[in-house]
């Protein structure tokens, strides 16, 4: 039986997404990779280019001033949505990946020394692993790993055993993009700070789905991507404490990020503008503000409950299919489910489901350490958002049963 929340949210929102008009039979179950965009978001970017196109912060004419106002209002909207102390704590970048690299290069190069320790979890997306791996190699620092348990969770006890007086940074995903694990951040951030370490959080999978309040979380650095929360691709955010931004050097140089330029040296603009060299993705920033407005109109708590309900329903359905192995915790998980169907390779399963107009992810999901711990080359992954419904989960379950029969001799 469908709940009221499922009926109302899926029906109310799906008509806002043009892609479902273009592909009426599509069951899109890959929102952890990128979400679809509602008309309201697409039109916000289009309107800027139709009516207000100018370079912000550059001109003393009306269009440029309007572009500046829109851009900075978008920054303020982001700050309010995630509970940042101020709009000045929000840096616009291309992606969460670029945001994490900015911290690694702009902060890490100055504050990580030979013999220091950087602690990351085994659950990390490559974007929150490789920048620290490379920083450790350059600086002669030691990279340590917080292990995941058999069901894909991270333990506070294990964190305590790995923290030391040499720990300078702890990098954690708020939610795993493979296992759906929800990291107990408050406890872990407190423990890291007690040890004298800064904390970098990858919030790419959390900001679209659950309430995030940076003022209460107390992370030093927090990164997320717009395209995972219905904004256009090419816009991301680094939200950081003011003192951390002041400790950082810019890594991109050019127009607008300067205070003064002389022949042989230059001085930098204030944060966050010192990190935003050159013409930025203004349309992307406005699309992010529009996506936030869309989420706020629905209510992030409503979205969270919808996600939880669909995840429970999908877990129940998947558990009833012979040969399905589900990875990750049974409870307290995000709307991301990785699984396998017998010995069938995830790519073959994804191709079969595509023939049924069901789009899922297959592969290592940019998290090869997780695959190594699971001792598998790849997993199939389904992920949900506000436009998905129980009826679509039922189509997935039916198609998986069909795949089991189709590939039976190879399972």
Cis peptide before 284 (omega within 30 of 0): no
| Averaged pLDDT for residues 224-235 | 98
**Cβ atoms 31, 228 nearer than 8 A:** yes
Pick the catalytic residue: 26, 321, 366, 376? 366
Which ranges of 106-155 does DSSP label H, i.e. alpha helix? 109-111, 130-139
**Cβ atoms 236, 94 nearer than 8 A:** yes
Query: Rounded CA gap, 98 and 102, in Å?
Result: 6
Domains and CATH numbers, the chain: 4-30+300-410 (3.90.1150.10), 42-296 (3.40.640.10)
3-state secondary structure of 38: coil
Q: Is there a catalytic annotation at residue 317?
A: no
CA distances from 5 to 13, 62, 386, 387, 394 (A): 12, 45, 10, 12, 17
Residue 361 gets the label, from left (phi > 0), alpha (psi -120 to 50) or beta, of beta
Q: For residue 382, list its beta bridge partners.
A: 337
Give the predicted TM-score (pTM) of the model: 0.96
**Cβ atoms 165, 196 nearer than 8 A:** yes
Query: Rounded CA gap, 118 and 137, in Å?
Result: 11
What pLDDT sits at residue 1? 33
| Averaged pLDDT for residues 399-406 | 95
| Averaged pLDDT for residues 169-190 | 97
- Percentage with pLDDT > 70 across the chain: 98
What band does 344 get if pLDDT is binned at 50, 70 and 90?
A: very high
What pLDDT sits at residue 2? 41
Residue 292 carries which DSSP code? H
pLDDT digits (tens, 9 = 90+) for 386-400: 999 999 999 999 999
pLDDT digits (tens, 9 = 90+) for 231-262: 999 999 999 999 999 999 999 999 999 999 99
Q: Which residues contact 136 (CB under 8 A, 6 or more apart)?
A: 112, 118, 142, 143
**Cβ atoms 112, 141 nearer than 8 A:** yes
**pLDDT for 281 beyond 50:** yes
**Cβ atoms 334, 112 nearer than 8 A:** no
pLDDT digits (tens, 9 = 90+) for 2-59: 444 444 788 789 999 999 999 999 999 999 999 999 999 999 999 999 999 999 999 9
pLDDT digits (tens, 9 = 90+) for 305-325: 999 999 999 999 999 999 999
Number of other residues whose CB lies within 10 A of the CB of residue 251: 16
What pLDDT sits at residue 3? 45
The size of the chain, in residues, is 411
Nearest to 82 by CA among 212, 256, 226, 182: 212
Query: Rounded CA gap, 127 and 140, in Å?
Result: 20
Mean pLDDT lowest among 222-226, 298-302, 406-410: 406-410
| Averaged pLDDT for residues 182-198 | 97
Percentages helix, strand, coil for the chain (3-state, rounded to 5) are 45, 20, 35
Query: Rounded CA gap, 138 and 247, in Å?
Result: 19
**pLDDT for 410 beyond 90:** no
What pLDDT sits at residue 330? 85
Angle 364-307-127 (CA atoms, 0-180°, nearest 5)? 35
The overall average pLDDT reported for the chain is: 96
362-382: string of b/e by CB count within 10 Å (b at 16+)?
Answer: bbbbbbebbbebbebebbbbb
| Averaged pLDDT for residues 52-69 | 95
What pLDDT sits at residue 331? 86
């Amino acid at each position: 039986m469908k709940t009221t929340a499922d009926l109302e949210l899926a029906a109310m929102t799906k008509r806002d997404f043009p892609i479902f008009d273009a592909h009426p039979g599509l069951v899109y179950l890959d929102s952890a990779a990128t979400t679809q965009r509602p008309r309201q978001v697409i039109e916000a970017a289009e309107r800027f280019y139709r009516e207000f196109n100018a370079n912000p912060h550059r001109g003393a004419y009306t269009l440029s001033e309007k572009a500046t106002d829109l851009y900075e209002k978008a920054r303020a909207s982001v700050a309010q949505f995630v509970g940042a102390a101020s709009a000045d704590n929000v840096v616009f970048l291309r992606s969460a990946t670029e945001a994490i690299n900015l911290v690694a290069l702009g902060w890490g190069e100055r504050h990580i020394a030979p013999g220091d320790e950087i602690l990351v979890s085994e659950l990390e997306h490559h974007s929150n692993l490789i920048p620290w791996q490379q920083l450790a190699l350059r600086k002669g620092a030691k990279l340590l790993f917080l292990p995941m348990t058999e069901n894909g969770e991270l333990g506070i006890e294990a964190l305590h055993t790995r923290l030391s007086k040499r720990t300078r940074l702890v990098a954690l995903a708020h939610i795993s993009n493979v296992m759906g694990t929800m990291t107990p951040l408050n406890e872990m951030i407190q423990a890291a700070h007690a040890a004298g370490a800064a904390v970098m959080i990858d919030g790419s999978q959390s900001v679209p789905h659950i309430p995030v309040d940076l003022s209460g979380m107390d992370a030093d650095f927090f990164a997320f991507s717009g395209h995972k929360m219905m904004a256009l691709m090419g816009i991301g955010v680094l939200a950081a404490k003011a003192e951390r931004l002041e400790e950082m050097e810019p890594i991109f140089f050019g127009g607008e990020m300067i205070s003064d330029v002389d022949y042989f040296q230059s001085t930098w603009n204030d944060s966050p503008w010192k990190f935003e060299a050159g013409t930025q993705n203004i349309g992307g920033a406005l699309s992010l503000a529009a996506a936030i407005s869309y989420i706020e109109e629905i209510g992030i708590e409503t979205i969270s409950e919808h996600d939880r309900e669909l995840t429970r329903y999908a877990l129940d359905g998947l558990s009833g299919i012979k040969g399905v192995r589900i990875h990750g915790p049974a409870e307290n998980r995000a709307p991301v489910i990785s699984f396998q169907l017998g010995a069938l390779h995830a790519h073959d399963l994804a191709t079969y489901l595509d023939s049924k107009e069901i789009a899922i992810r297959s592969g290592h999901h940019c998290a090869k350490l997780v695959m190594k711990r699971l001792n598998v080359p790849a997993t199939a992954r389904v992920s949900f958002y506000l436009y998905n419904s129980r009826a679509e989960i039922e189509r997935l379950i039916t198609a998986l049963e069909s795949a089991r029969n189709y590939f039976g001799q190879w399972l």
